[in-house]
Copies of this chain bind each other. A is one copy, B any other.
């Protein structure tokens, strides 16, 4: 269940302001759900209601194969090709600062160009039996392309011809250089539907294969996505959280607010914030428009950015993503909590008022205290309450944010599906490399 609250964003998001926006919201919602509008780019919209059982069986079988052949999966991708997978694994298989994550290890590469980082990863992989999962829609992005070929060569040095049994490719089913290469080499392939763009692709094999490898029940993720689909189809401002969220942030934008900070309180949600940042930044940041999407991890960042939020230049509003549960096991009714999380009595004088409280209590009190303090500081607050079991919740959240993002793009008058500004850098980089010297020359 996702519920958007706008009480904390008064007077900017008033009932009157929302009513005045109503005809635009109806037009945006109509455009979003009209199959003829933006045809060929909205595969994500109908995806949760379609039957892809054959595909999911293949994804699950592939994941089982990877887990049986390898002891670590290295997912090679950048942008939309890794952010969603990382968000899901961090949220649903969280570890600690020592162990990284629980369950079958899934790590990521190819999302940057650090040579030192890659060589260290290769050193660590020497002690493991890795599989590679390469994710690239176009099959032509530089970072994952370069890193894939380096990791592949390293596997071939070690496993010879059998390296091919450790390499899996998720790419366009019909075109692209990576697809051709995979066919030629005989790698197992999974498709990215051509009508679903990178940043809207997490619920396809792009996100689902890494999730399944990590041990996540992807059928439950899809159940949640279907629930999100049902909620977001409604043409009712108050029953459709995507419309309300899109409307509220649009009203704040129109009234001069420039930065939207997605606020989370659980470390396992940090990567979800990065997925959200790409979705909104790339979909709406164009033609000189758009909110700057930032993220803050509380209470951590209250001790770094809290001062600015409370008293700095007034340009930022907060969107609190209040996800159910602390990821700590919750005691049954009437049972005591884990004693390891209850502050003992023999504490120092400054901490005496904490004795007998559990950490979850402190977190909850902090959320309420921050809401109050920042409201007094004149910071508008949207609140997204998201309840339910994790696997379903992440599917529901993904669809909700995608729908809100596309709606918001229409309200803003931009194309939520292109990214011409990214291409500028890609073109310049390629031109430089085509004319530059080679290593050691």
Contacts and interface: CB of A to CB of B under 8 A. Distances in A.
A432 B377 contact: no
Contact of A359 (B150, B287, B437): B150
Contacts of A205: none
Contacts of A373: 424-425, 428
A382 interface: no
Nearest to A376: B424
Contact of A266 (B116, B336, B422, B437): B116
Copies in the complex: 2
A143 B299 contact: yes
Contact of A308 (B147, B292, B336): B292
Given A98-B105, A149-B343, A78 B310 contact: no
Contact of A341 (B115, B258, B432): B115
B308 A288 contact: no
Interface in A387-435: 419-422, 424-425, 428-434
A18 interface: no
Question: Which of A125, A140, A281, A303: most chain B CB closer than 10 A?
Answer: A303
A300 interface: yes
A255 interface: no
A332 interface: no
B285 A362 contact: no
Contacts of A150: 340-341, 343-344, 359
A253 to B, nearest CB: 9
A341 B119 contact: yes
A313 interface: yes
Contacts of A433: 353-354, 357, 361-362, 365
Contacts of A437: 361
A268 B116 contact: yes
A342 interface: yes
Interface string A354-388: 10111111110110111011101100000000000
Contact of A422 (B176, B178, B268, B302): B302
A100 interface: yes
A65 interface: no
The interface size bin for chain A is: 35 or more
A186 interface: no
A424 B310 contact: yes
A120 B282 CA distance: 35
Contacts of A125: 98
A300 to B, nearest CB: 5
A316 B292 contact: yes
A191 interface: no
Given A299-B143, A343-B149, A361 B439 contact: yes
A119 B338 contact: yes
Given A115-B328, A146-B354, A425 B97 contact: no
14 contacts: A72-B98, A96-B117, A114-B265, A115-B327, A118-B341, A150-B359, A154-B340, A281-B307, A290-B313, A303-B422, A307-B421, A311-B421, A365-B432, A369-B425
Given A142-B354, A281-B307, 17 more contacts: A97-B109, A116-B266, A117-B267, A119-B338, A145-B347, A145-B348, A145-B354, A258-B313, A282-B308, A288-B312, A292-B308, A293-B308, A294-B294, A302-B422, A306-B422, A361-B433, A377-B424
Q: Which 10 A-B pairs have the closest CB atoms?
A: A285-B308, A285-B312, A79-B303, A310-B421, A116-B327, A278-B304, A177-B350, A181-B348, A140-B350, A115-B328
